Chain A
Amino acid sequence: MANFTPVSAAIGGVLIGLSSLLLMLLTGRIAGISGIFAGLLGPGTNDKGWRAAFVAGLILAPLVAGAVGYAVPSPQMPASWGVVIAAGLLVGGGTRLAGGCTSGHGICGIARLSVRSMTATAIFMVAALVVVAFTRHVLAG
């Protein structure tokens, strides 16, 4: 567990929990990022403003942090283009089908004590563990 960073993980986690709580207390919305983003894509919804603002805040966070001297890491994605596209399609289609992702089910749903969200979280965690075990330890030998 050489990479374990419990202090920064706890601080970051508190901020994530606080953001989800504030969004509900202020605007009455669930901070589920797949749902917020999906609502920006279709022609149907007339509430794109707050959605775009939330996503803009997400993207601004590392830019603001970088501007004040925080070392923003660049993402490591050694996977091939085909795998990246396939993963994106699975994440997009899967989160819409399931109605949420790590934030909507994993944080907000569990925080509401929703059994449906707890089930979703358990399933996507196990699916991800299996895929990582397979790609890192079976395929890679």
Chain B
Amino acid sequence: MPIIASLFCGLIFGSGLLISGMVRTEKVLGFLDIFGAWDPSLAVVMMAALAVAVPGFAWAKRRGRPLLAAKCDWPTKTGIDRPLVVGSVMFGAGWGLVGLCPGPALENLATLSPRVIAFVAAMAGGMVLRDLWQKRSPQPRNQATLATAADG
């Protein structure tokens, strides 16, 4: 059942990205191009998503246990550390270069565009490289952010 629920949620998420136009790189770049023909659509997408998710998450937190699992996996990290800042700068730079973030990149695999496939392969490579590099570096105080223990 959780697998079917996940598939269903992925479908709804993908429909949202599709209908809002956020799968289109030129529309995302149009939002990021504040000195050009600025397109505020992405801001409306985020505000509409938050209008549902802010009260929804507050309710989910009060409710406690999810319907199909033992517990809710709320992220526990709260600090603003170096990896958060450096990683966000890197992510933003890559996003600005081509207009793809992970959701639309994966969804666009459906179009079999060679450039999208190359982007997703490089994205997977970047993720694996980062995890390998973290395992190699002997920094015990640097709390491991393994795939399962991340913010999102």
Contacts and interface: CB of A to CB of B under 8 A. Distances in A.
Contacts of B126: 88-94, 96
Interface string A99-117: 1111111111111111111
The 9 closest A-B CB pairs, nearest first, are: A104-B152, A57-B10, A32-B152, A12-B20, A92-B126, A61-B14, A88-B122, A127-B92, A13-B48
Q: Per DSSP, are chain B's interface residues mostly helix, strand or loop, or mixed? A: helix
B16 A15 contact: yes
- Chain B's interface size range is 35 or more
Interface string A25-50: 11111111111011101101101011
Contacts, number: 536
A99 B151 contact: yes
Interface residues of A, number: 119
B57 to A, nearest CB: 5
Contacts of A2: 37
Nearest to B64: A28
Given A11-B19, A53-B3, A124-B89, 11 more contacts: A4-B40, A12-B21, A20-B53, A57-B14, A74-B113, A77-B115, A77-B119, A99-B77, A100-B151, A115-B80, A131-B92
Given A17-B48, A76-B24, A92-B122, A22 B9 contact: yes
A102 B100 CA distance: 10
A39 B147 CA distance: 5
Q: Per DSSP, are chain A's interface residues mostly helix, strand or loop, or mixed? A: helix
Interface in B1-55: 2-27, 29-30, 32-42, 44-54
